[in-house]
Amino acid sequence: MKEAETIIWKMIQKTSFRTVNEERLRNLRPFIDPSGVFRIKTQLLMSKDFENFKYAILLPSDHIVVQKMIMHKHKTLSPCGIQTLMSTLREEFWILKSRRTIRKAIKTCTVCKRFKAKHPEVQAAPLSEDRLRDSATFETTGIDLAGPLYLRDGSKAWVVLYTCAVYRAVHLELVTSLTTDKFLLPFRRFIVRRGRPSIIYTDNGSNFTGSNQALNKVDWNKINDDTSVSRIQWEFIPPTSPWWGGFWERLIGLLKAILRKVLDLELEPLTPAMFLRDIQESGIPDLDQIGSTSLQKRFLYRLKLREDLRKRFRSKYLGQLGSYAKRSRNRYTFCVGDVVLIESTAKRINWPLGKVVQLIEGKDGVVRLVKIRTKQGDLLRPIQRLYPLEVSSPNDGDLRKLIEGPTICEKGECNISSDPSSLVPDYGWGGELSPTPVPQRVSRCGRALRIPRRLYL
């Protein structure tokens, strides 16, 4: 075993170094030991230690065998860091530019990629058309739940928040359960108080999806024959992406902050009305008769005033929305066939793997949502929940081109010979490998086969 390793180190050194007197090796004080291996003299010559530690074997930084050895040591030490691996290799070898070489080698470790991969970032999307068009209040509504709130009798309740996507108006209701039937009760009260919305935005909660399914089962042909109500369009944001519903999530945060301040207070404030109002009579029939003559005029003035306030609010609110230009440092362009790590609630080592099968572009042409194929089925995930592993799986068209095009051996990347004797090197200084290319082999499924490279020593 030791003789085989000595032959390998000599082959590597003969192909990488000319002599021990090279300019780049002068500061290392190299010499040739009795077996013909290049070694260096360290500062530990007077220590009673192993010979390899005092006279380390000199190795280059750009040889494929050195990189394979680094990866073997890295996996043997239960994927460790750069400093630990460099200290372990230093006990036997002196690798030129060791830190840079080790960092480059362990970048291909799949175990480390699962823990070091970072999710990409994407530029913020512009506001949707439903939030910018001139519409009635609560015509486009976002719904979400906050809680739970623990009542005095020990039961729990949740706050259902309805917010207008255009004018930011808020309507609150209470619900005692998260089931679909319990949610439809406050939803009915909201429609009676604020009017029937046209578009509803929610997350993928079971009570929201159940309500949408229940409304889809209704016989709308019969309803349209009796009434003139329009069907509610229910829109869901992608799974595991709460920032897509930021216009109601922000109000949920404000609601919780206010509730924390007022729920613990049980004092009733004193007001002037408790002391100054002694007269119980409050009717004004005479003033009502005077005002009835100008009722239509007052009604038109109220409509005009409400319209002016609505336009003023929209113009000032939308005018304050500046461009959200966050600097994105980790940009990654996904392609169909990329293998990614899907973020979940489990530990990172147990996150599932998936393959990108479809890129979904927004109206501005930016991809923010992709379709992932896993062993459980297809999923929709935002790219912020995906961690690319820099591994691609070619589709059928690319594979067909790979089969019909030039073989892998013709590219000069893997020189393979069917005759082992042709790979036996000349142990002289000028020995070189002269392989003979072989035709490309393909499996029954059409997948290109790579013949492993071997060193016939």
Lowest-confidence segment of 70-74, 337-341, 439-443 by average pLDDT: 439-443
Whether 22 and 112 share a structural domain: yes
Structural domain including 16 reads 1-116
Residue partners of 355: CB distance under 8 A and separation at least 6: 337, 338, 339, 340, 372, 373, 374, 393
User: Phi/psi of residue 58, each to 5°?
Assistant: -85, 125
Q: Give me the CATH number covering residue 64.
A: 1.10.340
Greater pLDDT, 294 or 218? 218
Q: How confident is the model at residue 15, as a pLDDT? A: 83
| Number of domains within the chain | 3
In a domain? residue 406: no
Any domain includes 284:
no
Asked if the structure places residue 364 within a domain, the reply is yes
Residues 26 and 139 in one domain: no
Cα–Cα distances in angstroms (integers) from residue 12 to residues 5, 34, 87, 416, 420, in the given order? 11, 17, 22, 19, 20
Residue 260 has a pLDDT of 80
Same structural domain, 71 and 137:
no
Is residue 407, in this structure, part of any structural domain at all? no
CA 57 to each of CA 91, 103, 211, 219: distance values in angstroms, whole numbers, following the listed order = 10, 20, 72, 83
Same domain, 141 and 256: yes
Together in a domain, 23 and 99: yes
First and final C-alpha spacing in the chain: 12
| Token pair listed for 202 | 């929610």
**Between 301 and 288, residue with greater pLDDT:** 301
In a domain, 297, yes or no: no
R_g (Cα) of the chain, nearest Å: 36
Helices (H), 325-452: 396-404
Quick one: tokens of 362? 């927004």
Token couple for 162: 């309805």
Condensed to tens digits (0 to 9), the pLDDT of residues 189-216 reads 998 888 888 899 998 888 898 988 888 8
> Are both 136 and 167 inside the same structural domain?
yes
Domain boundary at 67, 88, 116, which?
A: 116
Cα(45)–Cα(211) distance, integer angstroms: 80
Question: Three-state DSSP class for 380?
Answer: strand
Residue 94 maps to a domain = yes
Who's near 165: CB < 8 A, 6+ residues apart? 130, 131, 140, 141, 142, 199, 201, 247
- More confidently predicted of 127 and 273: 127
Q: Are residues 152 and 32 in the same domain?
A: no
Name the pTM for this structure: 0.59
pLDDT confidence of 278, banded at 50, 70, 90? low
Give the pLDDT band (50/70/90) at residue 444: low
| Same domain? 195 vs 82 | no
User: 92 and 156: one domain?
Assistant: no
Are β-strands 338-342 and 233-236 bridged in parallel, bridged antiparallel, or unpaired? unpaired
Average pLDDT, the chain: 77
Domain boundary among 228, 263, 298: 263
Please give the structure tokens belonging to residue 289. 């008769």
At 136-170, the pLDDT tens digits run 888 889 999 988 888 888 889 999 999 988 888 88
Domain of residue 190, CATH code: 3.30.420.10
Among residues 231, 263, 295, the one where a domain terminates is 263
- Based on the domain organization, do 135 and 251 belong to the same domain? yes
Residues 346 and 253 in one domain: no
Three-class secondary structure of residue 69 per DSSP: helix
List Cα–Cα distances, 117 to 149, 216, 342, 344, 385, in angstroms.
39, 42, 11, 14, 12
Sheet bearing 140-150, strands edge to edge: 170-175, 156-164, 140-150, 199-202, 233-236
422 confidence band (pLDDT: 50, 70, 90): very low
Within a domain: residue 103? yes
Is 301 contained in some domain? no
**One domain, residues 51 and 172:** no
Smallest CA-to-CA distance from 399 within 443, 447, 452, 436 is with 447
